[in-house]
Amino acid sequence: MALIVQKYGGTSVGSTERIKNVARRVARWKAMGHDLVVVPSAMSGETNRLIGLAREISAMPDPRELDVVASTGEQVTIGLLSMALMEQGLKAKSYTGAQVKILTDSAHTKARILNIEEANMRADLAAGCVVVVAGFQGVDEMGNITTLGRGGSDTSAVALAAALKADECQIYTDVDGVYTADPRIVPEARRLTTITFEEMLEMASLGSKVLQIRSVEFAGKYNVKLRVLSSFDDVDTPGEGTLITFEEDEKMEHAIISGIAFARDEAKITVRGVPDRPGIAYAILGPVGDANIDVDMIIQNVSVDGMTDFSFTVHRNEYQKALDVLNDKVKAHIGALDIGGDEHIAKVSVVGVGMRSHVGIASQMFRTLAEEGINIQMISTSEIKISVVIDEKYVELAVRVLHKAFELDQQPA
Amino acid sequence: MALIVQKYGGTSVGSTERIKNVARRVARWKAMGHDLVVVPSAMSGETNRLIGLAREISAMPDPRELDVVASTGEQVTIGLLSMALMEQGLKAKSYTGAQVKILTDSAHTKARILNIEEANMRADLAAGCVVVVAGFQGVDEMGNITTLGRGGSDTSAVALAAALKADECQIYTDVDGVYTADPRIVPEARRLTTITFEEMLEMASLGSKVLQIRSVEFAGKYNVKLRVLSSFDDVDTPGEGTLITFEEDEKMEHAIISGIAFARDEAKITVRGVPDRPGIAYAILGPVGDANIDVDMIIQNVSVDGMTDFSFTVHRNEYQKALDVLNDKVKAHIGALDIGGDEHIAKVSVVGVGMRSHVGIASQMFRTLAEEGINIQMISTSEIKISVVIDEKYVELAVRVLHKAFELDQQPA
């Protein structure tokens, strides 16, 4: 008998029929003798509807009041899901974030969880009750309703699993696990039975958005066993999903590379003809940071005749803003020749903890791309991933050839 | 400078445009220097939508969970209205029932208010803030969300006015006051500038449903000055509505009769040929009460040869159920000759506190109806009203001729 926290996303509870299906799925786990805490999101579309109402009232809705409005989406689903569980003959009880209570700071619309009181939930579980907790929301010290930001229900589930020392936190979504690559681009992509937290973080931050990054970090910090599962497969013959582990050893026996990720949402900026002297990187990126623009990859070329080129990537939404900052505040100041940019780039990454103990991954990656005539514009590496920036038009091709080159279509030995 | 509690019904906050209008109305009162506590209902249709979702899940939704779901309607409007008030340049803060806290008993879906904590609201008011409180909801001692039942927002507003010792409780609705008769039937009907609580109770219970009966009783008990106003008249030239007073004297100088009310939702049942002996009324009405059927008017005819007829009215929805009870459990038992009934009746009432000190009202009412050939089937009187049951087809005619006979179309001297 285990204590399991299950989180169901918006599409999984998108209609009363689907809520009934979730109740059947929960009942199956309960019948196996497990204790269950269930965390539903708002019905799909509901949070957008509520925020839309707020925006009709105000272009910049007050954050405290926006949380009062937005948190009702999850409050509706906890009530409905509890009713559906009772229809399955189970005992069930719903909790809002305030009722739990999930104490957060007061940063409305992006609050962070500080503490979770577990006594009442424990008592209900001991009485055989399924505990249903509203995701995405909490309450601050003064009793104000807070929300955790988009995707915050994942974080709620992981935090509850950590507080209750649950045996497993299951994230139900509309895909049945984490894949070696996006199956829409690589039909041979395989579902991974396990992936490490670090790999998952790299995959998530690179655009394979199965889980909220924050929830993965949270799970890693508190050693919560996370599993990604589908809520759309057959209730009676469920898949096993992908287990996200924090123990590396079992993983390393299997594969060096776990997957190929990509992101299309960046743009590249190049400052050309920059005098190569100390402090130049700060002179360029300082004003960009002051404008609240996040910078991802950064490259400084080898200096020729005391001059160098300096390139970096930003989110595509902030491309024009970054160019304006450079032209207004940086170009003349540092005496750069020219500011250029490219919005049509993509980042492709090879991710795997096995890289730590295997050499030659980078050269194999570069050779594979070269053989297809794909030029590499920028390179960035970490212990467990190698990312390259390429022309956006080659992104699908690059993902496919890398998937094949690293034999990800093969079951590991 | 006064402290005013304003309640806005579902149609008054039925869209974001209307919520902005409410904010403008509140801003006007605030500009006059008043302190304001505003209690909005859910947007029109929203409570029905939420209850509809619950019924899709369960034919008999768990009452605790139904309250969790249904209470979100008002939570959305308090957030939206607070935003709209800020757009008007005002300080505003929303409170759920639990945040106030409005303590109730644990009778989910029909809870009763036990206590209201006023300290936080007082502090906000002192800081110049408009306080926006969710109607219809409260919280029990264990922290469970409760609702007060349909129309409970009126009760919330009156209870808040009582707790805060407000100078006036204003109920905004889609009519601009209480009329001497339904203006759809009597075009000459006049808006009353004042009406007493007792008259209002009689009018409300007789079908002129401007206010929830419970809220009027509550206001009477705690001496809360209630005013019914329209939220659809011009914001800058608002009407004065109808003031509901608990002081009779000023009222009695004006008119003997305040209005003509009617109700079409009853049905008449007659038990004929009943042996006239002690206990016969209980033998008939006991089983009806045991079946949870409310009885309104009751008449027992004069006995002839030891036999009598016994008539009473019930809500039309319970007519068939009452007939079944009588045929199954009563008829043979008491040896009645026959059970008959009539669903096509209406109750017409003349209401006025002036009746207490004036004679001849009943005879004038009966003569007026007789002159139109309208037969009176049953009569019931109280200190401040006379009700008659007539054939339903005469109801409009009866209301019109009584309105004219008691000169309600004339401004009182």
Over 60: is that where the pLDDT of A335 sits?
A: yes
Domain contains B412: no
Q: How confident is the model at residue B63 (pLDDT cuts 50, 70, 90)?
A: very high
Q: Letter for the amino acid at A130?
A: V
On the question of pLDDT at A208 being above 60, the answer is: no
Q: Which of B211, B234, B251 is the last residue of a domain?
A: B251
Cα distances (angstroms) measured from residue B120 to each of A109, A262, B23, B164, B342 = 23, 52, 22, 11, 55
Give residue for tokens 């699993």. A161
**Token pair 């029909």 is at which residue?**
B110
pLDDT at A252: 47
The answer to whether the Cβ–Cβ distance between A76 and B83 falls below 8 Å is: no
**pLDDT tens digits, residue range B173-194?**
878 888 898 888 999 999 989 8
Q: Which of A174, A178, A347 is nearest to A255 (CA)?
A: A178
Any A CB within 8 A of B75 CB: yes
A87 close to B (CB below 8 A)? yes
Q: What is the DSSP letter of B304?
A: B
Distances (CA, A) of A79 to A85, A139, B155: 10, 19, 24
Among the three residues B203, B226, B251, which one is the final residue of a domain in this structure? B251
Mean pLDDT of A11-24: 96
Is a pLDDT exceeding 80 seen at residue A210? no
Question: Quick one: pLDDT at residue B178?
Answer: 86
Q: Chain B: residue nearest A62 by CA?
A: B83
Asked if residue B262 and residue B239 are part of one domain, the reply reads no
pLDDT for A254: 57
Q: Which of A117-126, A399-408, B236-245 has the lowest mean pLDDT?
A: B236-245
Of B57, B65, B87, the CB nearest to A20: B57
Structure tokens at A412: 């590991």
Residue-wise pLDDT tens digits, B319-365 = 999 999 999 989 988 888 899 999 999 999 999 988 877 778 888 99
Position B62 scores a pLDDT of 97
| CATH at residue A182 | 3.40.1160.10
Residue B300 lies in a domain: yes
Query: Which of A352, A350, A361 lies closest to A390, judged by CA?
Result: A350
Rounded mean pLDDT, B5-31: 95
Contact A54 B80 (CB under 8 A): yes
Is A58 within 8 Å of B98 when comparing Cβ atoms?
no
Residue A65 forms contact with B (CB below 8 Å): yes
Q: What is the pLDDT of residue B345?
A: 95
Could you read off the pLDDT of B117-165 as tens digits, one per residue?
999 999 999 999 999 999 999 999 999 999 997 678 999 999 999 999 9
Mean pLDDT of B229-253: 76
- The better pLDDT of the pair A281, B341 is held by B341
Q: Which of B222, B251, B280 is the last residue of a domain?
A: B251
Please name the member of B50, B62, B68 whose beta carbon is closest to the beta carbon of A86: B62
CB-CB neighbours of A266 under 10 Å? 23
Residue B295 to residue A178: CA distance in whole angstroms:
66
What is the per-residue burial (b if ≥16 Cβ within 10 Å, else e) of B172-185? Answer: bbebbbbbbbbeeb
- What is the CATH classification number for the domain harbouring B393? 3.30.2130.10
Judge: B58–A86 Cβ closer than 8 Å, yes or no: yes
pLDDT at A278 over 60: yes
Percent of chain B at pLDDT exceeding 70 = 96
> In chain A, which residues have their Cβ closer than 8 Å to the Cβ of B87?
57-58
pLDDT at A160 over 90: yes
Nearest-CA distance B77 → chain A (Å)? 8
Mean pLDDT across chain A: 90
CB B156 within 8 A of CB B136: yes
pLDDT band of A132, cuts 50, 70, 90: very high
Q: Which of B47, B51, B57 to mutate to test the interface with A (most CBs of A within 10 A)?
A: B57
| Contact criterion met (CB < 8 Å) for A62 and B82 | yes
Q: Is the dihedral of CA B391, B393, B395, B400 positive or negative?
A: negative
Chain B residues close to A99, C-beta within 8 Å: 143
For residue B193, the enclosing domain spans: 3-251
pLDDT class of A368 with cuts at 50, 70, 90: very high
Same domain, B184 and B39: yes
The per-residue pLDDT for B381 is: 84
Highest mean pLDDT among A45-54, B193-202, B218-227, B272-281: A45-54
B12 plus B81 within the same structural domain: yes
Q: Same structural domain for residues B242 and B97?
A: yes
A66 neighbors A54 (Cβ within 8 angstroms): yes
Q: Whose CA is closest to A346, among A384, A391, A405, A286? A: A391
* Position with higher pLDDT, B292 vs A91: A91
Nearest chain A Cα to B77, which residue? Answer: A69
pLDDT at B251: 47
Q: A301: pLDDT confidence band, cut at 50, 70 and 90?
A: confident
ipTM of this complex prediction, to 2 decimal places: 0.80
Residue B405 reports pLDDT greater than 50 = yes
| Range B188-201 average pLDDT | 87
Q: Is there a contact between A13 and A41 (Cβ–Cβ < 8 Å)?
A: yes
Determine the angle formed by the axes of helices B361-371 and B395-405, rounding to 10 degrees: 130
Q: Is A101 on the interface with B (CB under 8 A)?
A: no
Q: Assess if residue A205 is contained within a domain.
A: yes
pLDDT by residue (tens digit) across B372-385? Answer: 999 999 988 888 88
**Among chain B residues, CA nearest to A100:** B143
pLDDT at residue B249 in the model: 52
The CA distance from B68 to B74, in Å, is 11
Angle at alpha carbon of residue A18, lines to A12 and A22, rounded to 5° = 70
pLDDT band at residue A359 using 50, 70 and 90 as cut-offs: confident
Residue B275 vs residue A72, higher pLDDT: A72
Q: Is residue A364 part of a domain?
A: no
pLDDT of B68: 98
Same domain as B153, residue B279: no
Amino acid B395: pLDDT: 95
Percent of chain A with pLDDT over 90: 61
Q: Please give, rounded to a whole number of angstroms, the shortest distance from the CA of B63 to a CA of chain A.
A: 9
A76/B53 touch (CB, cutoff 8 Å), yes or no: yes
Distance between CA atoms of residues B218 and B161, nearest Å:
10
Identify whether residues B236 and B291 lie together within a single domain: no
Q: Which residues of B touch A16 (CB under 8 A)?
A: 53, 56-57
Q: Which of residues 308-347 of A touch B (CB under 8 A)?
A: none
- Domain assignment present for B413: no
Q: What are phi and psi of B262, to 5 degrees?
A: -150, 160
- Domain for residue A54, yes or no? yes
Q: Is residue B198 part of a domain?
A: yes
A contact residues 27-56, partner B, Cβ 8 Å cutoff: 50, 53-54, 56
Condensed to tens digits (0 to 9), the pLDDT of residues A377-394 reads 998 888 888 999 999 999
Q: How far is B105 from chain A (nearest CA, A)?
A: 17
Query: Do both B187 and B285 map to the same domain?
Result: no
Nearest to B72 among A54, A75, A84 (CB): A75
Note whether B226 and B99 are same-domain residues.
Answer: yes
Number of domains in chain B: 2
CA distance B152 to B140: 16
**Rounded mean pLDDT of chain B?**
90
- Tell me the CA distances in angstroms from A207 to A74, A191, A200, A244, B323, one per residue in order: 26, 17, 11, 17, 69
The yes-or-no verdict on residue A255 having pLDDT over 80 is no
Is the CB of residue A113 less than 8 Å away from at least one CB of chain B? Answer: no
**Across the interface, which of A57, A83, A93 has its CB nearest the CB of B80?**
A57
Q: Which of A213-217, B52-56, B392-396 has the lowest mean pLDDT?
A: A213-217
Give domain status of residue B152, yes or no: yes
Question: Is A23:B63 a contact under the CB 8 Å cutoff?
Answer: no
Choose from A231-245, B173-187, B387-401 the range with maximum mean pLDDT.
B387-401
The Cα of B318 is separated from the nearest Cα of chain A by a number of Å equal to 29
